[in-house]
Structure 1
Amino acid sequence: MGMMDSMAAKVARGATVEFRPRGTSMAPLIRSRQLVTVAPVDPARLALGDIVLARVAGKMYLHLVSALDVTRSRVQISNNRGRTNGWTSYARVYGICVSVDGVPRPGAGRKIRESVPADG
């Protein structure tokens, strides 16, 4: 299990986590090794431009919500370089990035899931 999978498991259980993801696909929003804080999310509250921790096609990403399909309860995930990773269900969206290096992400705090589901 990789670091991102480990973080997603903790968030799925209701924890808020901090970690330093690597890579440049989210720059300048998140630069490699910046400290991010990710909290459990209520996917029904997501908006375009939110940064989420989600599984798409078997891989875990900390990427942008680039499209919403509310009727099918799914979101499209993309990096900040124009590459679309694909669609994923609300059930595979584990958390929302609430801050980067201590700087709050606008509106993210209102999207935190307040309670853990019984099966979570």
Structure 2
Amino acid sequence: MAKIQTVGTVKEFMSGEWKLKKKEKAALSAMASISLYPLLLSKPAAAGALTGVITERTVTAFDPIVDLVLGISYPIGLIVMMCGGIVWMIGNKEKGLALITNAGMGYIIVQMVPLGMKMLVEVAKTF
């Protein structure tokens, strides 16, 4: 009966690392980490500028959708609040009050989220 010899993980087998000796693996990993070290630390100015342009274009591309949602939030909130008032008048006070409260909070959140996102984008630009 033949003995089964394990050579390591599937990843090592597929990459061919199992053919290398331990000294060669250590040397290759040290060389790879040393050669990539300056690239990881440095940030090219062109890449930073390009990232800023892409971010700005993406943010401005969604402005019409944001404006549409902001414009629609008032009529929808008004209709839901009026429905809540009607439900309250019918006799279901808890459900009516929940509709009015949720519509008011939803309207405030919809109006405030774009401001918060603009603030987050400005903070992200500093990094």
Normalised by the size of structure 2, how large is the TM-score? 0.17
**Higher relative contact order, chain-length normalized (CA < 8 Å, sep 6+):** 1
Query: Which structure features the higher share of strand residues?
Result: 1
Structure with max Cα Rg: 2
Q: By percentage of residues, which structure has more helix?
A: 2
